[in-house]
Amino acid sequence: MSNSIESHLQEDRVFKPSREFSKNARIKNMAQYTRMYQESIEKPGIFWAREAKELAWQKKWTKVLDWKAPYAKWFLGGKLNVCESCVDQHLKNGRANKAALIWEGEPGETRTLTYRQLHREVCQFANVLLAKGIKPKDRVMIYMPMTPEAVIAMLACARIGAVHSVIFGGFSAESIVDRLEDCQAKAMITSDGGYRRGGVVPLKENVDEALKKYKGVETVIVHQRIGNEGAPVKMKRGRDVWWHEEAAQVSAKHEAQAFDSEHPLFILYTSGSTGKPKGILHTSAGYLLGAYTTCKYIFDMRDDDVYWCTADVGWITGHSYIAYGPLANGVTQVMYEGAPNHPDFGRFWDIVEKYSVSIFYTAPTAIRAFIKAGNELPQARDLSSLRLLGTVGEPINPEAWMWYHTIIGGGRCPIVDTWWQTETGAIMISPLPGCTPTKPGTATLPFFGVDAAILDETGEECGPNEGGKLVIRKPWPSMLRTIYGDKKRYRDTYWKDYQGMYTAGDGARTDRKGNFWIVGRLDDVLNVSGHRLGTAEVESALVSHEVVAEAAVVGRPHEIKGQGVVAFVTLKGSTAPTDALNGELRNHVGKVIGAIAKPDEIYFTPAMPKTRSGKIMRRLLKELVATGEISGNTTTLENPGIVEDLRAQLKKK
């Protein structure tokens, strides 16, 4: 990471949007941004009330914000149905027959759903959920591939006031169990599989496996994505039902009932610094407003845009920038089921050309993989429909930024590098495409209502180019409300460092122009291919294997993934370290958490380097994997010889 800081400090290329782009954008110049930003910070009540009027309310709020740190309530007294803003309102505003979702399956089939069709599907599925006895605030787990039904399932939950918790389809059965238990889910929505890189992901099988351990799920609704051509799935009588069979039995009419602004909308699990993922709770009005306004100003969404976010609905990006934000804006969006490299790395560019995508939002890790695959693939396609590009998930290295700008954007598309988190619900720091001067590697300036700052350990604000902790000093509408079932962890994780301020867990600095440069996580959370992963989670997966006595996991810079996972393992008793065991442990982690968590490298060591008080020196392991050397004094270690062994092992690699 320190290398990227060096290059950030030297970065002096500045890119400004074209006059044409600015002229048509909602925010056309910096004076307009500054004026609106100041209002949003000084008079948030006025600013957010004006924006909130654009959502579909059944009852207007009486108070914009109630803030008793660290608990916020937005739009008190108001009532709305989130689904109405995303779907129903477009039946009345001229968008009924406009394409809402253009879906492409990995094998190549396509399906388009207009807003009217989407409405019908969502209403019908809402009736299925009601028929299954799902009540407001019940937790419903969704474990699906990237199909329109995943979005329909989310919206249908929102419509009846149930709380969805989507699990990324790459997570394993055991990960599902932990989450089911934590939120005490009552129902599960899944598919008989999904296509990924030419194969079938056995989603239903994983669910069956998980439900052997967690008994609280009364109903499993299975969408038929694959059919019998794959291995047909087993259906447990009395528990499992087919989506299409249930839908055929209910009406496609459903009146959206209003819920309080603070009604819980979803729980999304994300990694923290312990082995147990955190269930981030988001509520209705504030979250929707955050997703809506950021799409409107940062992606500058228009009625003639074709927007495509390549994230999976299992992550927060898929929640805010596939399911809720774009639909609330009534935009047409592309949704793609499969892998970026199936059948080759030209697939994304085929999709951009085929559907004339105009706004494209992806992750730096994908961009780096595309760079490696060569310029020929994008250059052989017509990408001239693109007008705006975005990135999310991790710091973008200037080389990747320049490639994106030149090869994909043809030098004409502004790039919005968007910093935010599962916890923040919506984008927090980002350029506005019509006005903000951008530099490769910085997410630039805070969005409206976001009072971001960098503080040192004593709580003083850092000067330009001084590294510190990124904090948000005021509440914002789409902020998390708590960690589900664990208020103490909520307070301890985010609100302890500085009185009344949210600590993001990221290190950052600002430059002389006030641009924010995000350096990366300060806690034990890795960012692997833009996905958050706790080192403690991987460690506990490793020690759950019968031959492992102790494990320590650290990150190391990785050319494509941003960060790779490196594990140090001490084996029990006389177990011999072998290559086969190395492979077995990697697969074991894949089985316990999911493929994204598999360590890139595992080193066996007879003991961990420890302090005299018995603490594993992770800092030292981090330095060793990053540089191959240890700079500091190791004589205070309990077992300094171990470091020499490890250094030799790493050198051999």
Binding residues (CB under 6 A) for ligand WTA: these are: 270, 315-317, 392-395, 417-422, 443, 504-506, 518, 520-521, 527, 532
- In the numeric block, the tokens 């989506």 are attached to 243
CB of 315 to ligand WTA, least distance (A): 6
State the minimum distance, in angstroms, from the CB of residue 392 to ligand WTA: 5
Q: DSSP letters of 376-441?
A: HHHHTS--TT--EEEEESSPPPHHHHHHIIIIITTTTS-EEEEB--TTT-S--B---TTT--B-TT
Which CB, 395 or 446, lies closer to ligand WTA?
395
Closer CB to ligand WTA, residue 395 or residue 468?
395
Give the DSSP H or E segment for 317. Answer: helix 316-318
CB of 41 to ligand WTA, least distance (A): 21
Q: Give me the amino acid identity at 349.
A: W
Closest distance to ligand WTA from the beta carbon of 521 (Å): 5
Q: How far is the CB of 289 from ligand WTA (least distance, A)?
A: 18
Q: Are strands 516-521 and 502-510 parallel, antiparallel or unpaired?
A: antiparallel
Secondary structure of 53-113 in the HEC alphabet? CCCCEEECCCEEEEEECCEEEEEECCEECHHHHHHHHHHHCCCCCCEEEEEECCCCCEEEE
Minimum CB distance to ligand WTA smaller for 40 or for 424: 424
Taking only Cα atoms into account, the Rg of the chain, rounded to an integer number of angstroms, comes to 24
Checking 633-641 for CB contacts under 8 A at 24+ apart, the result is: 634/609, 636/611, 636/612, 637/609, 637/610, 637/611, 637/612, 638/609, 638/610, 638/611, 638/612, 638/614, 639/607, 639/609, 639/610, 640/609
Of 258 and 462, which CB lies nearer to ligand WTA in the complex structure?
462
Instruction: Provide the minimum distance between the beta carbon of 493 and ligand WTA in the complex, in angstroms, as a whole number.
Output: 12
- The CB-of-20 to ligand WTA minimum distance in angstroms stands at 26
Measured CA to CA, the distance from residue 99 to residue 148 in angstroms comes to 12
Residue among 44 and 562 whose Cβ is closer to ligand WTA:
562
What's the closest the beta carbon of residue 484 comes to ligand WTA, in angstroms? 15
Q: Which residue number has the CB closest to ligand WTA?
A: 422
**Residues sharing a CB contact under 8 Å with residue 499, sequence separation 6 or more, in sequence order:** 69
Q: Specify the residue, 469 or 532, whose C-beta has the smaller distance to ligand WTA.
A: 532
Min dist. Cβ of residue 317 to ligand WTA (A): 5
Return the number of the residue (316 or 471) whose C-beta is nearest ligand WTA. Answer: 316
Nearer to ligand WTA by Cβ, of 114 and 422: the residue is 422
Q: Is the separation of the CB atoms in 413 and 299 below 8 Å? A: no
Of 520 and 594, which has the nearer Cβ to ligand WTA?
Answer: 520
